Structure 1
Amino acid sequence: MQSVFCSRWVLSGLSVTAGIGIGATLTAACDRFNKNGDTSHSGGLLDRVPVIPIPSVDAASEITPYQPGQVTVNRSTAVMKYESYVTSYDPRNRTAAWVIEQLSAETITGASDRKFCDFKEDDSVHVYHRSTNVDYKGSGVDRGHLAAAANHKWSQKGMDDTFYLNNVSPQNLHLNQNAWNNLEKYCRSLIKHYQNVFVCTGPLYLPRQEPDGKMYVKYQVLGKNHVAVPTHFFKVVILEKPRGDVELRSYVMPNMPVDEKIPLERFLVPIESIERAPGLLFVPNIMKRTSSLKAITAGP
């Protein structure tokens, strides 16, 4: 596996790493490298952003031990840094595998306006592996933000970056504009009660049993680039308290119309169910180095 080092994106709150197998154990811990807890912006970049290693394409390979500031990637996956978020791009599905961002009172406040933003391709992605606006045209689905535009009002450039199609996944328009929007608003409201709020969001492609009794993963694709339409979306919210404890709240919503009156608590799921599907493990082995901190599983 290759390594990419990010000098300006300092891991301080938590880490997410990838699992090759299944049966992941729920662990959550805070690994501090910035002792003063500063969450201010510096040069347009977040100073406290988790870095997420990605699984190897070789199922038999071992996971590279975590090192501060390190991202391990496979040959087909790119980790990209933008003004306000970090994403791992999945070239096969033409959408992100995950996006992670930090929310604060500063990031969600400002004069930025989405009317000045346009959805656009990222030239850093090979033309074979990109989605385009044409793929979405007439599809009947929304270009759903993973890192929400409203999370990044602090900078017009930051908000504009959320309109890269790398940060977009085909989303049922009713879901995008109602229940999912409510979840995004709820995440923003949490900054009033926690020292740090990190949000990791991504698509899921979950199997279901067909009439023949077998399990299949089936999903629609859009346009000539065959942009994958997820069956579900996940959002993992990592909440750091002033004393260092961490709460982990994990949500899954189906990519279909969802009654916005259903309480968000109904979509809470065990973190293991999210870890198994995309091959992610949240904060493994950090407890060994941060014995003073404990993992907390959030309730409804």
Structure 2
Amino acid sequence: MKVITKNILNLLYLTIFISMVSSCSDSDSPSSQDSNATAEWKTSSSVGSDEVSTGILLKGDAGTQYSATISQGASFSSFDYYTSKSAKLGVLKEGDNVIYIYCKANATADPRNVVVDITFGDAAPQQLTLVQKSVSQEILPVFSAWPELPAEKVSTDYQYATHYVTVNGKKIRSYSLCFDKNNKAALWVAYPMHAVYDGSVGRSDEWGFDPYITQTNQANCVSRSYGGNYDRGHQIPSADRDATFEMNAQTFYMSNMTPQLDRLNQDMWAKLETKVRNNICSDTLYVVTGAYFGAGATTTTDGAGNIVAIPTNYFKILLRTKSGNSGKSIALCSDSELISIGFWVDHKAYGNIEPPTTICTSVADIEAKTGFSFFPGVSAAVKSQNTPSVWGVQ
């Protein structure tokens, strides 16, 4: 009865509010519509099974009225999961506006869909769906189907996951990773690169834990970086995912970070990342970035003072069609139509230089060094290539 009464009051409040703003004609009143106003997930359109919060980013002209409703299983309040908190009203302020959603733990065997309807003024509602995975559910890479993925290597120390994003109403993969619980880092992060991922949202700096990886297995550098002269080094770069705020925010997950020397991360490594982006083409460019923990690996601390291992090496491997505009999938290409290369980087300061040819090698060589099988859908002949000039490295 208490919940029903609260629902009735909430509905009455919503009706009165709408009635009041619709009767206002004063020029100082909030605008009743904004055709340019948009709503998108702030960090991710999917979350883990634990009790969790996430945000929706609202953009539009200051003064635009908005209303939001939410389905059961989640709330706009961190203190009340009942439907009495299923409605939210507001007016956009200058800059970005965020409304937060709080989800109950999903203890069921099935994923839960939380539907949010957001209306700006008199415009048609915009609908966003948040998927909360179940306790036993894993968001796994589609091995053998996506060209960028290495072959799966089974180990109790490894956890695999894939992050998806929504672009123009379509759900697409952003990146996959193989996370090593012992080293608190991904051994590889695999991702496609194409114009659909390119934009101008810039760095979100949304440092946070990966919702698909057990939080205690991740390094804690949400509030501050690693100890010593080590940056929170991205494996998939922020600049490779800047078409939407959601996809950029996902690159700031702790699972994507390793302790990387500042003078490597900000200098030669950053220039190597730019070289990779320069090879984006009409066909897809497939990339795997990884961290290697070899003999003699030392340690530092994360932002919370926990001991974490420092990679001894980093690597990148690339695969694409030679022409860049074949319109063909990798599986349908002959060896002569494909090009690949590897970059093996010692964890040291190289200076603020362009990537040297000395770091260039073959995919096959990096396979031998790491024990992973990369680009399993292409031949050994393609993976033995090492022609730096084809990739703009002189």
Q: 1:154 corresponds to which residue?
A: 243
Could you state the TM-score of these two structures normalised by the residue count of structure 2?
0.52
1:104-119 map, 5 Å = 104-108=194-198, 110-114=199-203, 116-119=204-207
Please list, as runs of the form range in 1=range in 2, the aligned pairs for 1:113-128 lying within 5 A after superposition.
Answer: 113-114=202-203, 116-128=204-216
Structure 2 counterpart of 1:54: 152
CA contact (8 A) 1:99 1:147 kept: yes
Cα distance, 1:263–1:161 mapped onto 2, change above 3 Å: closer
- For the residue of structure 2 that corresponds to 1:281, the secondary structure is coil
What is the match of residue 222 of structure 1? 301
1:17-32 alignment, distance < 5 Å:
none
Per the alignment, residue 360 of structure 2 pairs with 268
Residue in 2 aligned with 1:87?
Answer: 177
Aligned pairs, number: 228
In structure 2, the gaps of 5 or more residues are 1-137, 165-173, 389-394
The answer to whether the Cα contact below 8 Å between 2:339 and 2:382 also exists between their aligned partners in 1 is: no
**For 2:386 and 2:181, how far apart are their aligned partners in 1?**
33
Aligned residue for 2:219? 131
Superposed counterparts of 1:271-290, under 5 Å? 271-284=363-376, 287=379
Matched-pair identity in %: 21
Structure 1 partner of 2:71? none
Residue 12 (structure 1) shift: 5.2
Measure how far apart 1:260 and its partner are.
3.0
- Equivalent residues of 2:197, 2:242 under 8 A apart: yes
> In the TM superposition, what is the alpha-carbon distance from 1:11 to its structure 2 partner?
5.6
Contact 2:283 2:321 in 1 (8 A): yes
Specify the alignment match of 1:201 in structure 2. 289
Q: CA deviation at 1:135?
A: 7.5
What's the offset of the Cα at 1:282?
2.1
- Distance verdict in 2 for CA 1:286–1:250, change over 3 Å: closer
5+ residue gaps in structure 1?
15-49, 57-73, 208-216
How far the C-alpha of 1:5 sits from its partner, in A, is: 8.3
CA shift at 1:275, angstroms? 1.3
After superposition, the CA RMSD in angstroms is: 2.8
SS at match of 2:255: helix
Contact 1:191 / 1:197 at 8 angstroms: preserved in 2? yes
Match of 2:41 in 1: none
Choose 1 or 2 for highest CA Rg: 2
What is the identity, as a one-letter code, of the residue corresponding to 1:77? Y
Shift of 1:236: 0.5
| Farther-moved stretch of structure 1 (254-263 vs 229-238) | 254-263
Letter in 2 for 1:119: W
Instruction: Establish whether residue 187 from structure 1 lines up as the match of residue 276 from structure 2.
Output: yes
Asked if 1 retains the 8 angstrom alpha-carbon contact of 2:343 and 2:359, the reply is yes
Corresponding residue of 1:77:
158
1:171·1:255 contact (CA, 8 Å) conserved in 2? Answer: yes
8 A contact 1:112–1:154 mirrored in 2: yes
Q: Of 342, 347, 358, which residue of structure 2 is paired with 1:255?
A: 347
Distance 1:235 1:294 in 2: 16
Distance of 2:299 and 2:143 partners within structure 1? 38
Is it true that 1:171 corresponds to 2:260 in the alignment? yes
> SS of 1:249's equivalent?
strand
Indicate conservation of the 8 Å contact 2:139/2:212, yes or no. no
Once the two structures are TM-superposed, the CA of residue 76 in structure 1 deviates from its matched residue by 2.6
Instruction: Report if the CA contact (8 A) 2:268-2:355 is conserved.
Output: no
1:6 and 1:138 map into 2 onto residues whose CA distance is 32
Q: TM-score if structure 1 supplies the norm length? A: 0.67
Quick check: 2:209–2:215 contact (8 Å CA) kept in 1? no
Aligned 8 A contact 1:205 1:219 in 2 = no
Q: Is the 8 A contact 1:246 1:296 kept in 2?
A: no
**Alignment partner of 1:80: what SS?**
strand
CA contact (8 A) 2:143 2:151 kept: no
For each residue in 1:157-180, what CA deviation from the matched residue of structure 2 results, as whole angstroms up to 9, or x when unmatched?
000000001011110111111111
Q: Check 1:106–1:125 CA distance in 2 against 1; reply closer, same or farther (3 A cut).
A: closer
Q: What is the alpha-carbon distance in structure 1 between the residues aligned to residue 292 and residue 140 of structure 2?
A: 27
